[in-house]
Structure 1
Amino acid sequence: MFDLNGKNVVYVGAFSGIGYQVAKMLMKKKISHLIVMSRMENMEMLQKLQSENTSVKVTYIQVNLMDHSSMEHAVKQATGVVSNIDVLINGAGVLADKDMETTVGVNLMGMMTMVMLCMPYMDKQQMGHGGIVMNIASVYGLEPAPAFPVYAAAKHGVVGFTRSMGDQQHHQHTGVAFIVVCPGLTTSETILNLREKSMWGQQSYVDEMIETMNKAKQQTPEEVAMNMVKAMEINKTGAVYLANVGQLKEVMPTNYWHM
């Protein structure tokens, strides 16, 4: 079990939905520092988070996940606040298949870049003490998404990257566990106006795909956040979890090829 008490946590993502709820739950775990990296500052949310636990230092750092220099600067600022990072949560997500560059850039490239920039401050062989990297993918990182193939490709990439980095050979040397959580459909702004976000939205047959998504049972951001914290505490490197309608289930991907 991973003890969050006294840990330095960096959360990368928006202040709304799952992001806010997981940050709120972490504040109750007696962590030491919470650093929120987001594109836009939200003073109201920052104040609400700080009020959850005044003994935890909450810091906001602006970051643009489409800009490498912005990410470098953000990590430099973060490590000016804390000497090492114990937990990195990559929670930024964009569903916008019409803009392939942003969809892949934020969901996949930004996440991988952030991991590599933070690793020296997590790796026990460098400046870190070990810890956890948690990446948030999607159920569409496990299954096809016919209406959103670009988003599915990016989220499949998140799962593949996390499983690869979560290999025991990495873990035994770095002390950093990699975990990916794949939420099912969750009540949030992301799933509003789905047809407008699909590159195939002008095709009449896409209506049926969108309708299937709209009819699916949704979960609350609080339910996802609760299961994210649970997965952190389990601390199983390379684990892939499906978080759906309040349940956390480990997924066991099939390996078709062995060296």
Structure 2
Amino acid sequence: MSLAGKNVVFVAALGSIAYEASKELMTLDLASFFAFDILDKPEAVKALQDINPNTKVHYTKFDITNKESIKSALADLVSKVQYIDVLVNGAGILADPAVELTINVNLIGLINTTFEALPYMDKNQKGRGGVIVNIASVLGLEPCPPAAVYCASKFGVVGFSRSLGHPDYYEHTGVAVSTFCPGLTDTPLKNNLSTKYTFDYSKAIGAKFDNSKTQTPEICGEHLAQVVDLQDNGGIYISNQGTLTKVKPSVYWEPTY
């Protein structure tokens, strides 16, 4: 499926990596682009619109922790364009001391948004197929002791995405599900890391993360847009140090029949 002429909804489209990806997606002759975001940045929305005047850009104030906000935003979208072809779930925070908020934003909100959007994408319901890309992290693939809660939320995103990417689901819905895992990237997420760690004494083991090499949000956003365009059901991709790599997960257990 070419993305030309398609309707894209991007959750948290106006921040850092997501905004760079949004700019890339706006070059693909989309029919419409919906930016769902808690951030109200009219200048960023206008800049997206200026990239391609033929793709209508819509901004919706969006609280991913509020199920009614999710439902209302999607209902407004389908009243305008009927179909959702692409959903990118990009909301995320690193704030381990705020356990419930971290899980609500990074995992529960992503799950709720996916479930509310799927009927408008499922070819057997109200949709015509499409692709969902969930933004996880390399810390959804490997443990991260200084940010254990964030890590748990991103492991959850990977598990949820891999499960929905089962070939039988894809055969039924026509909706591909991919996972995007950024490596350490120069974004506001890395600001004041020592205040965001799991324990006060996490600061010592977190020091290597504070001083680690990062990649630019521009290259990471470019990689994210590529993954959206690939529409690779079940695909898991890492963007790290300027390189995009497809991951084959290790299998540790399978059911015995």
TM-score, normalisation: structure 1: 0.96
**Alpha carbons 2:21, 2:221 under 8 Å: kept:** yes
* Aligned partner of residue 248 in structure 1, secondary structure: strand
Q: Which runs of 5+ in 2 are unaligned?
A: none
Select 2:242's aligned residue among 246, 250, 259.
246
Q: Which moved more, 1:239-248 or 1:149-158?
A: 239-248
**Alpha carbons 2:33, 2:55 under 8 Å: kept:** yes
Counterpart residue number, 1:81: 80
**Alpha carbons 2:8, 2:87 under 8 Å: kept:** yes
The one-character-per-residue Cα deviations of 1:76-131 (angstroms, maximum 9, x if unpaired) are 11111210100000001110000001100000000000000000110011111101
Q: What aligned pairs does 1:156-171 form with structure 2 within 5 A after superposition?
A: 156-171=155-170
1:46 Cα deviation after fit = 0.7
Q: Which runs of 5+ in 1 are unaligned?
A: none
Runs (4+) of structure 1 exceeding 6 A deviation are none
**Alpha carbons 2:146, 2:203 under 8 Å: kept:** no
**Alpha carbons 2:88, 2:132 under 8 Å: kept:** yes
* Aligned partner of residue 155 in structure 2, secondary structure: helix
Provide the rounded CA distance (Å) in 1 between the counterparts of 2:222 and 2:249: 23
Residues 97/14 of structure 1: CA separation in 2 closer, same or farther (3 Å cut): farther
Residues 227/14 of structure 1: CA separation in 2 closer, same or farther (3 Å cut): closer
Partner AA of 1:21 in structure 2: E
CA RMSD of aligned residues (A): 1.1
Identical residues among aligned pairs (%): 38
Partner AA of 2:54 in structure 1: S
* Aligned partner of residue 109 in structure 1, secondary structure: helix
**Alpha carbons 1:13, 1:36 under 8 Å: kept:** yes
1:215 Cα deviation after fit = 2.2
Partner AA of 1:5 in structure 2: A
**Alpha carbons 1:61, 1:78 under 8 Å: kept:** no
Residues 257/107 of structure 1: CA separation in 2 closer, same or farther (3 Å cut): same
1:34 has 2:30 as partner: no
**Alpha carbons 2:26, 2:52 under 8 Å: kept:** yes
The one-character-per-residue Cα deviations of 1:123-164 (angstroms, maximum 9, x if unpaired) are 011111101000000110001110010000000000000000
